[in-house]
Protein backbone atom coordinates (compact mmCIF):
# COMPACT_ATOMS: atom_id res chain seq x y z
CA UNK A 1 0.00 0.00 0.00
CA UNK A 2 1.49 3.24 -1.05
CA UNK A 3 1.25 6.31 1.13
CA UNK A 4 -0.45 9.27 -0.51
CA UNK A 5 1.50 12.48 -0.51
CA UNK A 6 0.02 15.94 -0.89
CA UNK A 7 1.26 17.85 -3.90
CA UNK A 8 3.71 20.64 -3.26
CA UNK A 9 2.16 24.07 -3.19
CA UNK A 10 3.17 26.34 -6.01
CA UNK A 11 3.94 29.91 -5.08
CA UNK A 12 1.13 32.38 -5.64
CA UNK A 13 1.45 34.83 -8.52
CA UNK A 14 2.09 37.65 -6.05
CA UNK A 15 4.54 35.70 -3.93
CA UNK A 16 7.52 34.29 -5.84
CA UNK A 17 9.66 31.40 -4.66
CA UNK A 18 11.83 33.84 -2.73
CA UNK A 19 8.87 34.60 -0.45
CA UNK A 20 8.41 38.29 -1.36
CA UNK A 21 4.76 39.37 -1.29
CA UNK A 22 4.61 41.94 -4.09
CA UNK A 23 1.16 43.23 -3.14
CA UNK A 24 2.20 43.68 0.48
CA UNK A 25 5.38 45.44 -0.64
CA UNK A 26 3.39 47.84 -2.82
CA UNK A 27 0.83 48.52 -0.10
CA UNK A 28 3.32 49.13 2.69
CA UNK A 29 5.63 51.20 0.49
CA UNK A 30 2.90 53.13 -1.28
CA UNK A 31 3.85 56.50 0.20
CA UNK A 32 7.43 56.10 -1.00
CA UNK A 33 6.38 54.95 -4.46
CA UNK A 34 3.81 57.76 -4.69
CA UNK A 35 6.46 60.34 -3.78
CA UNK A 36 8.86 59.02 -6.43
CA UNK A 37 6.06 59.04 -9.01
CA UNK A 38 5.12 62.63 -8.15
CA UNK A 39 8.73 63.79 -8.47
CA UNK A 40 9.19 62.03 -11.83
CA UNK A 41 5.89 63.24 -13.32
CA UNK A 42 6.28 66.89 -12.32
CA UNK A 43 9.93 66.88 -13.35
CA UNK A 44 8.79 65.92 -16.83
CA UNK A 45 6.02 68.53 -16.84
CA UNK A 46 8.12 71.45 -15.57
CA UNK A 47 11.85 72.22 -15.98
CA UNK A 48 11.79 74.13 -12.67
CA UNK A 49 10.53 71.30 -10.48
CA UNK A 50 13.65 69.11 -10.35
CA UNK A 51 16.08 71.54 -8.75
CA UNK A 52 17.71 71.73 -5.36
CA UNK A 53 16.39 75.24 -4.70
CA UNK A 54 12.81 74.21 -5.47
CA UNK A 55 13.08 71.03 -3.39
CA UNK A 56 14.29 73.00 -0.38
CA UNK A 57 11.49 75.53 -0.82
CA UNK A 58 8.89 72.77 -1.02
CA UNK A 59 10.44 71.06 2.00
CA UNK A 60 10.02 74.27 4.03
CA UNK A 61 6.31 74.19 3.14
CA UNK A 62 6.09 70.50 4.05
CA UNK A 63 7.65 71.22 7.46
CA UNK A 64 4.39 72.82 8.65
CA UNK A 65 2.29 69.83 7.62
CA UNK A 66 4.94 67.40 8.85
CA UNK A 67 4.98 68.89 12.35
CA UNK A 68 1.19 68.74 12.57
CA UNK A 69 1.13 65.22 11.14
CA UNK A 70 3.63 63.86 13.69
CA UNK A 71 1.45 65.04 16.57
CA UNK A 72 -1.67 63.79 14.81
CA UNK A 73 -0.10 60.37 14.22
CA UNK A 74 0.71 59.91 17.91
CA UNK A 75 -2.94 60.66 18.73
CA UNK A 76 -4.24 58.34 15.99
CA UNK A 77 -2.03 55.52 17.28
CA UNK A 78 -4.21 55.49 20.41
CA UNK A 79 -7.37 55.35 18.31
CA UNK A 80 -8.15 59.04 18.79
CA UNK A 81 -8.33 62.08 16.53
CA UNK A 82 -7.37 65.74 17.02
CA UNK A 83 -9.38 68.14 14.90
CA UNK A 84 -8.13 71.17 16.83
CA UNK A 85 -4.51 71.23 15.57
CA UNK A 86 -5.18 73.80 12.84
CA UNK A 87 -6.89 76.18 15.24
CA UNK A 88 -4.21 75.55 17.86
CA UNK A 89 -1.61 76.51 15.25
CA UNK A 90 -3.49 79.75 14.53
CA UNK A 91 -4.00 80.60 18.21
CA UNK A 92 -0.36 79.93 19.10
CA UNK A 93 0.79 82.04 16.16
CA UNK A 94 -1.43 84.90 17.34
CA UNK A 95 -0.10 84.66 20.90
CA UNK A 96 3.48 84.67 19.59
CA UNK A 97 2.66 87.73 17.50
CA UNK A 98 1.04 89.45 20.47
CA UNK A 99 4.10 88.84 22.62
CA UNK A 100 6.41 90.09 19.87
CA UNK A 101 4.33 93.27 19.60
CA UNK A 102 4.84 93.89 23.31
CA UNK A 103 2.77 93.23 26.42
CA UNK A 104 1.27 96.32 28.06
CA UNK A 105 1.29 96.44 31.85
CA UNK A 106 -1.16 99.25 32.61
CA UNK A 107 -0.49 99.23 36.36
CA UNK A 108 3.18 100.11 35.78
CA UNK A 109 2.72 102.04 32.59
CA UNK A 110 5.19 99.75 30.81
CA UNK A 111 5.34 97.76 27.60
CA UNK A 112 7.37 94.58 28.03
CA UNK A 113 9.04 93.02 24.98
CA UNK A 114 9.98 89.44 25.92
CA UNK A 115 12.99 87.84 24.18
CA UNK A 116 12.29 85.29 21.46
CA UNK A 117 13.14 82.25 23.61
CA UNK A 118 10.49 83.33 26.13
CA UNK A 119 7.98 83.71 23.30
CA UNK A 120 8.80 80.18 22.09
CA UNK A 121 8.47 78.65 25.57
CA UNK A 122 5.16 80.41 26.33
CA UNK A 123 3.73 79.50 22.94
CA UNK A 124 4.63 75.81 23.37
CA UNK A 125 3.13 75.91 26.87
CA UNK A 126 -0.11 77.26 25.39
CA UNK A 127 -0.17 74.44 22.84
CA UNK A 128 0.37 71.91 25.63
CA UNK A 129 -2.48 73.47 27.62
CA UNK A 130 -4.89 73.21 24.68
CA UNK A 131 -3.85 69.58 24.22
CA UNK A 132 -4.35 68.91 27.92
CA UNK A 133 -7.91 70.24 27.72
CA UNK A 134 -8.59 67.82 24.87
CA UNK A 135 -7.02 64.93 26.76
CA UNK A 136 -8.89 65.58 30.00
CA UNK A 137 -12.23 65.86 28.21
CA UNK A 138 -11.59 62.54 26.47
CA UNK A 139 -9.86 60.56 29.25
CA UNK A 140 -11.83 61.65 32.30
CA UNK A 141 -15.17 62.94 31.01
CA UNK A 142 -15.44 60.30 28.25
CA UNK A 143 -16.31 62.86 25.60
CA UNK A 144 -15.76 61.31 22.14
CA UNK A 145 -12.50 62.54 20.65
CA UNK A 146 -14.22 63.83 17.52
CA UNK A 147 -16.67 65.96 19.52
CA UNK A 148 -14.16 67.20 22.11
CA UNK A 149 -11.53 68.31 19.61
CA UNK A 150 -14.16 69.79 17.30
CA UNK A 151 -15.40 71.95 20.18
CA UNK A 152 -11.86 73.02 21.06
CA UNK A 153 -11.29 73.82 17.37
CA UNK A 154 -14.03 76.45 17.50
CA UNK A 155 -13.00 77.78 20.91
CA UNK A 156 -9.34 78.22 19.89
CA UNK A 157 -10.28 79.89 16.61
CA UNK A 158 -12.73 82.17 18.37
CA UNK A 159 -10.18 83.22 20.98
CA UNK A 160 -7.67 84.02 18.22
CA UNK A 161 -10.26 86.21 16.49
CA UNK A 162 -11.15 87.96 19.76
CA UNK A 163 -7.51 88.71 20.56
CA UNK A 164 -6.80 90.21 17.14
CA UNK A 165 -10.28 91.57 16.38
CA UNK A 166 -9.92 89.74 13.08
CA UNK A 167 -6.73 91.59 12.15
CA UNK A 168 -3.18 90.34 11.55
CA UNK A 169 -0.02 91.06 13.54
CA UNK A 170 2.60 92.21 11.04
CA UNK A 171 6.34 92.95 11.15
CA UNK A 172 7.30 90.36 13.77
CA UNK A 173 11.02 90.61 13.04
CA UNK A 174 11.46 92.77 16.16
CA UNK A 175 13.77 95.70 16.82
CA UNK A 176 17.38 95.52 18.04
CA UNK A 177 16.88 98.33 20.55
CA UNK A 178 14.04 96.38 22.16
CA UNK A 179 16.00 93.13 22.36
CA UNK A 180 13.29 91.05 20.70
CA UNK A 181 14.86 90.29 17.33
CA UNK A 182 15.37 86.80 15.93
CA UNK A 183 11.79 85.61 15.51
CA UNK A 184 12.21 85.40 11.74
CA UNK A 185 15.17 83.05 12.22
CA UNK A 186 12.89 79.98 12.13
CA UNK A 187 11.37 80.92 8.82
CA UNK A 188 14.15 82.50 6.80
CA UNK A 189 17.48 81.24 8.08
CA UNK A 190 19.23 78.16 6.80
CA UNK A 191 21.85 75.83 8.18
CA UNK A 192 24.07 74.26 5.52
CA UNK A 193 21.49 75.55 3.00
CA UNK A 194 18.69 73.57 4.69
CA UNK A 195 15.75 75.68 5.99
CA UNK A 196 15.59 75.82 9.77
CA UNK A 197 11.94 74.75 9.67
CA UNK A 198 12.93 71.49 7.98
CA UNK A 199 15.59 70.87 10.61
CA UNK A 200 13.06 71.56 13.36
CA UNK A 201 10.73 68.99 11.79
CA UNK A 202 13.59 66.49 11.62
CA UNK A 203 14.41 66.99 15.31
CA UNK A 204 10.77 66.59 16.33
CA UNK A 205 10.53 63.45 14.18
CA UNK A 206 13.65 61.99 15.79
CA UNK A 207 12.28 62.67 19.27
CA UNK A 208 8.98 61.02 18.30
CA UNK A 209 10.78 57.95 16.91
CA UNK A 210 12.77 57.50 20.12
CA UNK A 211 9.67 58.09 22.24
CA UNK A 212 7.57 55.54 20.38
CA UNK A 213 10.20 52.85 19.81
CA UNK A 214 12.55 53.09 22.78
CA UNK A 215 10.39 53.95 25.79
CA UNK A 216 7.64 52.36 27.85
CA UNK A 217 5.38 55.25 26.86
CA UNK A 218 5.66 54.19 23.21
CA UNK A 219 4.49 50.69 24.11
CA UNK A 220 1.61 52.19 26.07
CA UNK A 221 0.57 54.21 23.01
CA UNK A 222 0.50 51.20 20.68
CA UNK A 223 -1.19 49.02 23.31
CA UNK A 224 -3.90 51.61 23.95
CA UNK A 225 -4.65 51.85 20.25
CA UNK A 226 -4.49 48.09 19.72
CA UNK A 227 -6.97 47.20 22.46
CA UNK A 228 -7.72 49.71 25.20
CA UNK A 229 -9.43 47.22 27.51
CA UNK A 230 -6.57 44.73 27.27
CA UNK A 231 -4.10 47.54 27.87
CA UNK A 232 -5.92 48.58 31.05
CA UNK A 233 -5.94 45.00 32.30
CA UNK A 234 -2.21 44.78 31.61
CA UNK A 235 -1.43 47.76 33.80
CA UNK A 236 -1.08 50.43 31.11
CA UNK A 237 -2.00 53.91 32.44
CA UNK A 238 -4.51 54.56 29.68
CA UNK A 239 -5.74 57.91 31.00
CA UNK A 240 -2.24 59.27 31.41
CA UNK A 241 -1.32 58.02 27.94
CA UNK A 242 -4.40 59.60 26.39
CA UNK A 243 -3.79 62.99 27.97
CA UNK A 244 -0.10 62.91 27.09
CA UNK A 245 -0.64 62.18 23.39
CA UNK A 246 -2.97 65.17 23.08
CA UNK A 247 -0.48 67.37 24.93
CA UNK A 248 2.21 66.28 22.47
CA UNK A 249 -0.12 67.02 19.56
CA UNK A 250 -0.74 70.50 20.97
CA UNK A 251 2.99 71.15 21.34
CA UNK A 252 3.60 70.04 17.74
CA UNK A 253 0.85 72.40 16.59
CA UNK A 254 2.42 75.23 18.58
CA UNK A 255 5.83 74.60 17.00
CA UNK A 256 4.19 74.56 13.56
CA UNK A 257 2.50 77.87 14.40
CA UNK A 258 5.86 79.38 15.36
CA UNK A 259 7.50 78.19 12.14
CA UNK A 260 4.62 79.41 9.96
CA UNK A 261 4.45 82.83 11.65
CA UNK A 262 8.20 83.13 11.33
CA UNK A 263 8.07 82.30 7.62
CA UNK A 264 5.40 84.95 7.06
CA UNK A 265 6.73 87.39 9.71
CA UNK A 266 3.06 87.86 10.54
CA UNK A 267 0.39 86.09 12.54
CA UNK A 268 -3.28 86.00 11.57
CA UNK A 269 -6.26 84.45 13.39
CA UNK A 270 -7.26 82.41 10.33
CA UNK A 271 -3.85 80.75 9.89
CA UNK A 272 -4.00 76.97 9.82
CA UNK A 273 -7.59 76.72 8.62
CA UNK A 274 -8.27 73.15 7.38
CA UNK A 275 -4.67 72.17 8.21
CA UNK A 276 -6.04 69.46 10.50
CA UNK A 277 -7.43 67.72 7.44
CA UNK A 278 -4.06 67.90 5.70
CA UNK A 279 -2.40 66.42 8.78
CA UNK A 280 -4.89 63.54 8.88
CA UNK A 281 -4.35 63.00 5.16
CA UNK A 282 -0.58 62.78 5.66
CA UNK A 283 -1.02 60.20 8.43
CA UNK A 284 -3.40 58.11 6.32
CA UNK A 285 -1.23 58.30 3.20
CA UNK A 286 1.69 57.24 5.40
CA UNK A 287 -0.08 53.97 6.20
CA UNK A 288 -1.37 54.53 9.74
CA UNK A 289 -4.67 52.89 10.68
CA UNK A 290 -7.35 55.32 11.84
CA UNK A 291 -8.55 52.63 14.25
CA UNK A 292 -5.25 52.90 16.13
CA UNK A 293 -2.31 50.68 16.96
CA UNK A 294 -0.60 50.83 13.56
CA UNK A 295 1.61 53.52 12.07
CA UNK A 296 5.07 55.04 12.32
CA UNK A 297 6.83 58.37 11.99
CA UNK A 298 8.67 57.44 8.79
CA UNK A 299 5.46 56.72 6.91
CA UNK A 300 3.81 59.86 8.25
CA UNK A 301 6.67 62.06 7.05
CA UNK A 302 6.52 60.40 3.64
CA UNK A 303 2.79 61.10 3.59
CA UNK A 304 3.41 64.77 4.41
CA UNK A 305 5.93 65.02 1.57
CA UNK A 306 3.47 63.35 -0.82
CA UNK A 307 0.74 65.89 0.02
CA UNK A 308 3.14 68.85 -0.01
CA UNK A 309 5.04 67.95 -3.18
CA UNK A 310 1.77 67.19 -4.99
CA UNK A 311 0.25 70.56 -4.02
CA UNK A 312 3.36 72.55 -4.92
CA UNK A 313 3.79 70.63 -8.16
CA UNK A 314 0.25 71.48 -9.23
CA UNK A 315 0.94 75.15 -8.49
CA UNK A 316 4.17 75.09 -10.52
CA UNK A 317 2.49 73.68 -13.63
CA UNK A 318 -0.37 76.18 -13.30
CA UNK A 319 -3.24 73.91 -12.32
CA UNK A 320 -6.30 75.69 -10.94
CA UNK A 321 -6.63 75.73 -7.15
CA UNK A 322 -10.03 74.02 -7.56
CA UNK A 323 -8.41 71.08 -9.31
CA UNK A 324 -5.72 70.98 -6.62
CA UNK A 325 -8.46 70.30 -4.08
CA UNK A 326 -9.89 67.56 -6.29
CA UNK A 327 -6.50 65.85 -6.71
CA UNK A 328 -5.71 66.06 -2.99
CA UNK A 329 -9.10 64.58 -2.11
CA UNK A 330 -8.61 61.77 -4.60
CA UNK A 331 -5.24 60.94 -3.05
CA UNK A 332 -6.82 60.76 0.41
CA UNK A 333 -9.64 58.49 -0.74
CA UNK A 334 -7.17 56.23 -2.54
CA UNK A 335 -4.95 56.09 0.57
CA UNK A 336 -7.89 55.11 2.80
CA UNK A 337 -8.90 52.43 0.28
CA UNK A 338 -5.38 51.01 0.26
CA UNK A 339 -5.32 51.09 4.06
CA UNK A 340 -8.49 49.02 4.11
CA UNK A 341 -6.99 46.52 1.68
CA UNK A 342 -3.69 46.36 3.57
CA UNK A 343 -5.14 45.76 7.02
CA UNK A 344 -7.87 43.42 5.74
CA UNK A 345 -5.06 41.13 4.53
CA UNK A 346 -3.63 40.93 8.05
CA UNK A 347 -5.27 38.79 10.70
CA UNK A 348 -6.34 40.70 13.76
CA UNK A 349 -4.06 40.32 16.73
CA UNK A 350 -5.63 38.35 19.58
CA UNK A 351 -6.17 40.07 22.89
CA UNK A 352 -3.56 37.90 24.57
CA UNK A 353 -0.90 39.08 22.14
CA UNK A 354 -1.80 42.72 22.65
CA UNK A 355 -1.74 42.28 26.38
CA UNK A 356 1.66 40.65 26.16
CA UNK A 357 3.08 43.67 24.34
CA UNK A 358 1.85 46.08 27.00
CA UNK A 359 4.51 46.74 29.63
CA UNK A 360 3.79 45.64 33.17
CA UNK A 361 5.02 47.58 36.17
CA UNK A 362 8.44 45.93 35.97
CA UNK A 363 8.86 46.70 32.27
CA UNK A 364 7.78 50.30 32.72
CA UNK A 365 10.79 50.88 34.90
CA UNK A 366 13.20 49.91 32.14
Mean pLDDT value across residues 178-199 = 87
pLDDT tens digits for range 12-45: 444 444 445 787 777 778 889 999 999 999 999 9
Q: What is the CATH number of the domain that holds 259?
A: 1.10.3470
- For residue 267, the surrounding DSSP H or E stretch is none
- The answer to whether residue 22 is domain-embedded is no
- The answer to whether residue 20 is domain-embedded is no
From CA 307, how far away is CA 69, in angstroms rounded? Answer: 11
pLDDT category at 353 given cuts 50, 70, 90 is very low
Kindly report the pTM of this predicted structure: 0.88
User: What is the chain's mean pLDDT, rounded?
Assistant: 87
- The answer to whether residue 17 is domain-embedded is no
- The answer to whether residue 7 is domain-embedded is no
pLDDT category at 3 given cuts 50, 70, 90 is very low
Is the pLDDT reported for residue 157 higher than 60? yes
Lowest-confidence pick of 38-52, 79-93, 130-144, 145-159: 38-52
- The answer to whether residue 24 is domain-embedded is no
From CA 152, how far away is CA 203, in angstroms rounded? Answer: 28
From CA 299, how far away is CA 252, in angstroms rounded? Answer: 17
Mean pLDDT value across residues 55-67 = 95
What's residue 293's pLDDT?
Answer: 92
42 burial type by CB count under 10 A (0-12 exposed, 13-18 middle, 19+ buried): buried
Three-state secondary-structure class, residue 44: helix
Range of the domain at 295: 30-364
pLDDT tens digits for range 285-313: 999 998 899 999 999 999 999 999 999 99
Is the pLDDT reported for residue 351 higher than 80? no
**What total of structural domains would you count in the chain?**
1
- The answer to whether residue 8 is domain-embedded is no
- The answer to whether residue 146 is domain-embedded is yes
Between 13 and 159, the higher pLDDT residue: 159
What's residue 347's pLDDT?
Answer: 53
Mean pLDDT value across residues 89-117 = 88
Q: Which residues pair with 104 in a beta bridge?
A: 111
pLDDT tens digits for range 237-258: 999 999 999 999 999 999 999 9
Is the pLDDT reported for residue 11 higher than 80? no
- The answer to whether residue 9 is domain-embedded is no
Amino acid sequence: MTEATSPARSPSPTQPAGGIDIIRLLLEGRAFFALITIIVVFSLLSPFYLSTANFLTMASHVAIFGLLAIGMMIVILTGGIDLSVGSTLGLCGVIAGLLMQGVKIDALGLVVYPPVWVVVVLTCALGAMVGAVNGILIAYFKVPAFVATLGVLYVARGVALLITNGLTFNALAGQPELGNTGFDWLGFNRLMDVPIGVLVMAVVALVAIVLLNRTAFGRWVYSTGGNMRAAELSGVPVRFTTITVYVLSGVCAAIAGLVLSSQLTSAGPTAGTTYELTAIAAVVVGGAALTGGRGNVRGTLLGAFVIGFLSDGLVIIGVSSYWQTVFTGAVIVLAVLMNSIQYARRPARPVSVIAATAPNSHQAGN
